[in-house]
Amino acid sequence: MGIERFEVQRTIAAPPSAVFSILTSPEGHVSIDASGMLQWAEGERVTAVGDRFVVHMDRESLNDLPMGKYDVTVIITRFTPDTEIEWTISGTVQPPIEHLWGYQLAPHEQGTLVTSYYDWSRIHPRYRGAVNFPILPEAGLRATLGILARTVEKH
């Protein structure tokens, strides 16, 4: 079956609370996205498992599927303040694919050790073999961490 999850790490020179503040904001997700797919978001800052917000997407950025512009609902699946946030999405594609994205934060002498992951091990059977996973490369996660660092460290 092969690898169905990858994660990358980066130390960011900011406290976990500052990093987490960006990760819990719908617009924060858009501002740090390296894929170019996330266009803008609507909704309130998330504070618990089950919270949701909408992201307006544009698949043209990946140029892999003819989906154009569409919306997804981000659904928080794990939430521990200043420590962990994870989500899945529901949207145009039904039933939901059930892939997961997340961040784990740990205090570090230089700020925060941030682990970003993408996990497609539990995707709905309908999509196994029908869609090429991973949708985003590991380098995309690493680039997003770079933008997160740039964003949070400038404040």
Domain ranges of the chain: 6-153
- For 53-57, which contacts have Cβ atoms below 8 Å and span 24 or more sequence positions? 53/26, 54/26, 55/26, 55/29, 55/30, 55/89, 57/91
- Provide the pLDDT confidence category of residue 4 given band limits of 50, 70 and 90: very high
Give the model's pLDDT for residue 130.
78
Mean pLDDT, the chain, rounded, equals 92
61 half-sphere exposure, CB direction, 13 A CA radius: 16
How many Cβ atoms are within 10 Å of 116's Cβ, its own excluded? 22
**Does 47 have pLDDT greater than 80?**
yes
What mean pLDDT is predicted for residues 115-121?
A: 96
Give pTM, 2 decimals.
Answer: 0.91
Give the model's pLDDT for residue 92.
78
CATH fold, domain 6-153, is: Alpha-D-Glucose-1,6-Bisphosphate; Chain A, domain 4 (3.30.530)
**Does 1 have pLDDT greater than 80?**
no
